[in-house]
Amino acid sequence: MDGSLTRVLMLFLLPLCLLKCGEVQAFCFQTAGARYQIDPQLLRAIAKGESSLNPQAMHVNRDKAGKPKSIDYGLMQINSRHIPRLKAQGIILDKDDLLMKPCLNVQIGAWILAKHFQTYGVNWNCLGSYNAGFGTSRHEIREHYADRIWRIYQVQRNSELEK
Q: Digits of tens for pLDDT over the chain (163 positions)?
A: 555 655 555 555 544 444 445 555 789 999 999 999 999 999 999 999 999 999 999 999 999 999 999 999 999 999 999 999 999 999 999 999 999 999 999 999 999 999 999 999 999 999 999 999 999 999 999 999 999 999 999 999 998 777 6
Neighbours of 71 (CB within 10 A): 17
Q: Where are the alpha helices (DSSP H) in the chain?
A: 3-36, 40-51, 83-88, 96-100, 102-120, 124-132, 139-162
Full-model pTM: 0.84
CA distance 124 to 143: 8
Which residues, in sequence order, are CB contacts of 144 under 8 Å at separation 6+?
Answer: 128
**59 neighbors 136 (Cβ within 8 angstroms):** no
CA distance 69 to 73: 14
Q: Which helix (H) or strand (E) holds 61?
A: strand 58-62
Q: What is the pLDDT of residue 24?
A: 54
| Domains present along the chain, CATH in parentheses | 26-162 (1.10.530.10)
